[in-house]
C-alpha cells in the first residue's frame, strides 16, 4: 500500500469546536453579546462555576478553576445580561442603607392605596398620626393623608371608641412587643361598625427606644359567615360605648340583643377573645386615661364620669392595667 503523503489544508472552522463556532457566530450577529442564546451560555457557565465552588469548599474538588466565569462566582456575583450583581457581605446593613437613601420612604404607602379595605398607618408615642393611606382618609372623612398628620383617633371617632384604639397603641409602646390579629369593630363611612383584624408593631429609633407604632387593619373575612351574630355584637358594642358611664351588667347587654347572659358570654368571647365584663372595664379605663390627659378634673370626678363606683375602684383597676395610679399617670403624661 502506498502512503498518501499529500498535505491536506484544514480550514479554521474544522479546528474550532462546534460550540465555539456557534458562540462566534452569535457574537458576529449581535455585537453587544446580548443574544438570548449567548446569555444562556454565560449563565450556564456561571452556575457551573457556583457548583464547582461548592464542591471545592466541601473538599470534594481540589485545584483551581478552568474558566473565568468560575472565578467570577467566587465573589458571590451573578453575571446576567452583561452585568454582575454582587451579594452584599451584610445584607441587612445594605438593605437599611438603601431605605435610608430614598428621598421619601413614606411613598411606599402609595402601594397600599389600591387595596380595598386595608388600613395602614404610623403613629408616634402619643398616638398622633404621622402617615396613613387613603383608606384611612376615606373612613375618617379626610380629603388627603396630610389632614391626619398630628391628629389622634379622638379627632375622628367617638371618645369611647378612640380610647380603646389609643389604649391598644399604649400596650404595644409600653411592652415593645407586636400585637397580631386583634379583632376590632371599626365604624365605617356608613356609621355602622365593621369587623377588622388589627396588627401593630413597635417602631424603634436609632437608640433602640420605641418611638411609635405602625398598624394594619384588614377586613375580618370570617365575619361574613354569621351576619346575625355579627349584628348582635355590633349592637352590644354600640350600647357599651354610649352607656359606659352607667351601671352595666352582662344581663342588661344580653337583654338588649335578645340573648341570655351565657349566650352573650360565649359569642362575645369567641369573636373578641374577651368577656363582656372585661370589655366594659377596658372602655371605662380608656376613657379615664383620656380625661386624665386632657382635663384637670379631680380623679374622683373622673371615676364617677367613667362608671366606676368611686376613686378607689378606679385606682385599683387603673393600676392593674397601666401599672400606676391615675394621678401618677397624669403627671407622667404631662411631663413628656
User: Could you tell me which residue, 258 or 158, shows the higher pLDDT?
Assistant: 258
pLDDT digits (tens, 9 = 90+) for 250-262: 999 999 999 999 9
**If you search the block for the grid coordinates 371605662, which residue do you land on?**
284
Residue 292, Cβ neighbours under 10 Å: how many?
21
Cβ(68)–Cβ(49) below 8 Å: no
Q: Do residues 205 and 211 make contact, with C-beta atoms less than 8 angstroms apart?
A: yes
Confidence (pLDDT) at 227: 53
* pLDDT bucket at 6, cuts 50 / 70 / 90: very low
C-alpha–C-alpha distance, residues 280 and 250, integer Å:
9
- In sequence order, what are the residues at sequence separation of 6 or more whose Cβ sits closer than 8 angstroms to the Cβ of residue 141? 156, 189
pLDDT digits (tens, 9 = 90+) for 179-223: 988 877 776 665 556 778 899 999 999 899 999 999 999 887 654
Q: Please state which of the ranges 46-50, 170-174, 297-301 shows the lowest mean pLDDT.
A: 46-50
Strand 129-132 versus strand 179-187 pairing type: unpaired
Q: Which domains does the chain possess?
A: 12-86 (no CATH), 106-225 (3.30.450.20), 226-336 (1.10.10.60)
Once rounded to an integer, what is the mean pLDDT over residues 278-282? 88
Main-chain dihedrals φ then ψ at residue 171, nearest 5 degrees: -60, -40
Mean pLDDT for 113-138 is 90
Among 84-98, 130-144, 161-175, 213-227, the minimum mean pLDDT is found in 213-227
Is this structure's pTM higher than 0.75?
no
pLDDT of residue 53: 53
The distance between the two most distant Cα atoms of the chain, rounded to a whole number of Å, is 127
Compute the average pLDDT of residues 136-149.
87
Share of the chain above pLDDT 70, in %: 69
Nearest Cα to Cα of residue 160 among 59, 281, 253, 271: 281
Amino acid at each position: 500500500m502506498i502512503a498518501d503523503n499529500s498535505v491536506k489544508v484544514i480550514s479554521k472552522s474544522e479546528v474550532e469546536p462546534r460550540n465555539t463556532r456557534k458562540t462566534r457566530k452569535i457574537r458576529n450577529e449581535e455585537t453587544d453579546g446580548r443574544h438570548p442564546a449567548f446569555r444562556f451560555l454565560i449563565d450556564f457557565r456561571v452556575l457551573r462555576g457556583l457548583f464547582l465552588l461548592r464542591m471545592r469548599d466541601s473538599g470534594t474538588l481540589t485545584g483551581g478553576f478552568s474558566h473565568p466565569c468560575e472565578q467570577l462566582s467566587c465573589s458571590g456575583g451573578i453575571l446576567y445580561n452583561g452585568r454582575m450583581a454582587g451579594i452584599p457581605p451584610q445584607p441587612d446593613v445594605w438593605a437599611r442603607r438603601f431605605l435610608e437613601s430614598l428621598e421619601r420612604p413614606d411613598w411606599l404607602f402609595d402601594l397600599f392605596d389600591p387595596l380595598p379595605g386595608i388600613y395602614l398607618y404610623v403613629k408616634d408615642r402619643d398616638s398622633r398620626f404621622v402617615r396613613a393611606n387613603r383608606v384611612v382618609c376615606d373612613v375618617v372623612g379626610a380629603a388627603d393623608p396630610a389632614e391626619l398628620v398630628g391628629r389622634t383617633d379622638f379627632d375622628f371617632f367617638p371618645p369611647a371608641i378612640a380610647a380603646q384604639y389609643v389604649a391598644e397603641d399604649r400596650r404595644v409602646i409600653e411592652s415593645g412587643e407586636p400585637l397580631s390579629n386583634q379583632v376590632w369593630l371599626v365604624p365605617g363611612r356608613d356609621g355602622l361598625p365593621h369587623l377588622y383584624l388589627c396588627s401593630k408593631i413597635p417602631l424603634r429609633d436609632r437608640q433602640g427606644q420605641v418611638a411609635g407604632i405602625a398598624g394594619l387593619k384588614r377586613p375580618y373575612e370570617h365575619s361574613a359567615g354569621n351576619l346575625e351574630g355579627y349584628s348582635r355584637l355590633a349592637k352590644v358594642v354600640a350600647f357599651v360605648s354610649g352607656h359606659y358611664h352607667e351601671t352595666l351588667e352582662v344581663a342588661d347587654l344580653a337583654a338588649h340583643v335578645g340573648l341570655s347572659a351565657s349566650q352573650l358570654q360565649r359569642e362575645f368571647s369567641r369573636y373578641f377573645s374577651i368577656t363582656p365584663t372585661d370589655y366594659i372595664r377596658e372602655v371605662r379605663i380608656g376613657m379615664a386615661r383620656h380625661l386624665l390627659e386632657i382635663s384637670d378634673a379631680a380623679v374622683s370626678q373622673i371615676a364617677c364620669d367613667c362608671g366606676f363606683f368611686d376613686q378607689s375602684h378606679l385606682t385599683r383597676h387603673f393600676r392593674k392595667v397601666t401599672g400606676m395610679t391615675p394621678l401618677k399617670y397624669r403627671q407622667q403624661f404631662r411631663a413628656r
